[in-house]
Amino acid sequence: MRVLLVEDHKPLSRSLKRGLEEEGFAVDLAEDGEEADFKARSANYDVIVLDLMLPKKDGLTVLKEWRKSGLGTHVLVLTAKDALDDKVKGLDIGADDYLTKPFQLEELMARLRALIRRTHQVKDPVLRVHDLELDTAARTVRRSGQSIHLTPREFALLQFLAYHRGKVVTRTMIWEHLYDEYDENTSNVVDVYIRYLRTKIDKGFEMPLILTRWGEGYMLRGEDAPDRR
């Protein structure tokens, strides 16, 4: 999942980016309100993490402008410990959640996962597709009761497919949600990771779950999808 992290405190920004990337998130950074505004309108983010105390344009102003223009991306605001008014104002003008500094990375990730589930109208952190079970909180995968180890990037790709089960996702959609603005991989990396996933998820099982729609993209098997690998 792709996140825009808007934070002008560079040590905190670098630390959060590193921690989120280790959990499979693709992270873009913005250091002021103007840069955040430009990037939020230029890419398709799953969640925006927005500090309110920013140079050039403050976070509340940016958030208000986003909502006024119809930008619907979920926004988690970061506030100072004693800034109750900012919390209330942020929620009133369209923030989806808030987190008070200082905070633990684990709590931030849990809140991000919850917002992503809300985007896809899913309440249960465990996604089930036929005999495949994907626990988005524990970050574990099992098929027919068999544990399967995935790398963070493989897990992110499978999770993206699971949220769109039964629907075709294009290579462009996958790229936009799984890779940050500075990723230097070529476009065929998506096909490479699909192949990795198939080896781990489908090999040895009678029914393939990861399907190809030639000329369109890939999908995770829905209820009545015909076999086309």
> How confident is the model over 179-192, as pLDDT tens digits?
777 776 666 888 88
**51 and 112 assigned to the same domain:** yes
Residues 114 and 6 occupy one common structural domain: yes
Q: Is 59 helix (H, G, I), strand (E, B) or coil?
A: helix
For the CA atoms of the chain, what is the radius of gyration?
Answer: 19
> Predicted confidence band at 54 (pLDDT cuts at 50, 70, 90)?
very high
Identify whether residues 115 and 133 lie together within a single domain: no
For the chain, what's the residue count? 229
59 and 132 assigned to the same domain: no
Residues 146 and 186 in one domain: yes
Q: Nearest 5 degrees, angle CA 208-CA 214-CA 219?
A: 45
Per DSSP, the three-state class of 94 is coil
Q: Residue 224: pLDDT above 90?
A: no
Specify the pTM: 0.83
Residues 30 and 101 in one domain: yes
**Per-residue pLDDT for 47 more than 90?**
yes
Last residue of a domain, one of 119, 147, 181: 119
Give the residue from 119, 152, 175 where a domain finishes: 119
Q: In the predicted model, is pLDDT for residue 219 greater than 90?
A: yes
Average pLDDT over residues 103-122: 90
Tell me: do 105 and 191 sit in the same domain: no
Residue 6 lies in a domain: yes
Q: Which residue in this structure is represented by tokens 């959609």?
A: 173
174-181 contacts at long range (C-beta below 8 A, 24 or more positions apart): 174/217, 174/218, 176/2, 176/43, 176/44, 177/1, 177/2, 177/26, 177/44, 177/46, 178/1, 178/2, 178/26, 178/153, 179/2, 179/26, 180/2, 180/26, 180/27, 180/28, 181/28, 181/39, 181/43
Q: Are strands 47-51 and 74-79 parallel, antiparallel or unpaired?
A: parallel
The enclosing domain of 33 has a CATH number of: 3.40.50.2300
Domain range for 70: 2-119
Better-predicted residue by pLDDT, 85 or 31: 31
Q: What is the spatial distance between Cα 104 and Cα 122, in angstroms, rounded to a whole number?
A: 24
How high is the pLDDT of residue 80?
Answer: 78
> Is there a single domain that holds both residue 17 and residue 111?
yes
Query: Which of 119, 140, 172 is the C-terminal boundary of a domain?
Result: 119
- Please indicate, yes or no, if residue 229 is contained in any of the structural domains: no
Say which CATH number the domain at 202 has.
1.10.10.10
Which has the higher per-residue pLDDT, 117 or 149? 149
Structural domain includes residue 104 = yes
Pairing between β-strand 140-143 and β-strand 146-148 as defined by DSSP bridges: antiparallel
78 and 182 fall within a common domain? no
| pLDDT at site 17 | 94
